[in-house]
Amino acid sequence: MCSFLLVNFPTTYNPQLTTPHNSQQLFTFERYMKDIPLHQLKDRATSGMELFHFVPGDSHYKSETLGAHRDDHYIFFLVESGDASLMIDFHEIRFSPPCLYYVLPGQVHHRINNVVAGGWFMAIDTLLIPPDYRKIFENQLFLQQPYALNDTQLRQCREVLGLLFEKYAEDEKQPFCLPVMHSLLQSFLGMAAGCFSCSSNQGITISRPVELAQQFKLLLVENLRTLKSPSAYAEKLNVSESYLNESLKKVTGLSVSYWIQHEVMLEAKRLLYYSEMNVKEIAHALGYTDHAYFSRIFKKAEGSTPLAFRTHYRK
């Protein structure tokens, strides 16, 4: 799986770029895995998202070499003008503005050229993307195509992103800043999901490992509260545990165990953010009889206790 992004989209690792907040891109052959870092949004953002607008010829975005890397979050961009293309699994995808596109967590990007383009760039914590929307985005795993926007859709996206950017530029400590920001984000995600639910990937053949990765991720979302062992998922998919693990590593660079824990922690964060359940109730809902053990693995995975996470995101 090879993915190259040929577009002048800004990234957090550009020291010349300043934004209101503290922000990110597939070569899945095993011999390269040790050289591809995983960038985590929580290390750079406190709101669960990053957003900025850029225009053709904007000298503010100075080029900097960025090696291949994975992200643990989604990337969305609205291409309004310019020239850009993306290579996915040896299929070149060219963008015809105006269009929407997204990059999934785990996909690897390697910028090989800087072509001037104008539009919006957004990095989003998977926590903030509703499961129904994720099913639409991830059902096209690694083979997603650009969605051409009509005039009405372009206007609506611009208006919502404009409002979102105004709120994003404010001090997060202002009353209800984060809830309002996340509500506007949901509006954009809903429009994007609506667009991509109408698109299809006919004519593109996917490999067996990619197909198995798709099936595993759908199965994981449905069973994460009851099944937490790689062998259980391998059995349901009628493959050996070693083949399932080999396929996931080839496609995503990460093991079955990683994705199980990732999805469990994601659901835990959703329950902490959206529900009024206490930590003990959340632990039990996720299949953990020992809530203290659940709290320990949450802190190890997320860098904070469950209650600290809830307090931060609800401030």
pLDDT tens-digit series, residues 226-247? 999 999 999 999 999 999 999 9
Residue 203 within any structural domain of the chain: no
At 262-306, the pLDDT tens digits run: 889 988 988 888 788 899 999 999 999 999 999 999 999 988 999
Neighbours of 58 (CB within 10 A): 14
Tell me: do 189 and 87 sit in the same domain: yes
pLDDT at 168 over 70: yes
Q: Is residue 295 part of a domain?
A: yes
Closest listed residue to residue 244, CA positions, set 272, 280, 220, 276? 220
The answer to whether 77 and 101 are in contact (CB under 8 A) is yes
| Co-location of 54 and 104 in the same domain | yes
246 within some domain: yes
pLDDT tens for 91-104 read 566 778 999 988 88
CA dist., res. 236 & res. 39, Å (int) = 31
**Can you give the pLDDT at residue 9?**
38
CATH code assigned at 254: 1.10.10.60
Domain co-membership, 173 together with 259: no
Residues 269 and 182 in one domain: no
Q: With H, G, I as helix, E, B as strand and everything else as coil, classify residue 84.
A: coil
Q: Give 206's pLDDT tier (boundaries 50, 70, 90).
A: low
On whether residue 237 sits in a domain, the answer given is: yes
Q: Would the pTM count as exceeding 0.75?
A: no
Tokens 């009024």 correspond to 276
CATH number at residue 168: 2.60.120.280
Where a domain ends, among 174, 197, 220?
A: 197
Q: Is 135 helix (H, G, I), strand (E, B) or coil?
A: helix
**Which pLDDT does position 230 carry in this prediction?**
96
Q: Are 301 and 264 in contact (CB under 8 A)?
A: no
Tell me: pLDDT of 213 over 70: yes
Looking at 197, 221, 239, the residue that finishes a domain is: 197
Q: How many domains does the chain have?
A: 2
Q: Which domain holds residue 257?
A: 208-313
Same domain, 215 and 183: no
Specify whether 192 is located in the same domain as 212.
Answer: no
Final residue belonging to a domain, choices 197, 232, 259: 197
67 and 187 within one domain: yes
In this structure, the answer to whether residues 172 and 222 fall within a common structural domain is: no
Of 279, 313, 224, 294, give the one whose Cα is nearest residue 42.
Answer: 313
Helical H segments across 6-150, by residue range: 131-138
Helix or strand (DSSP H, E) at 245: helix 241-252
- Asked if the model's pLDDT at residue 109 lies above 70, the reply is no
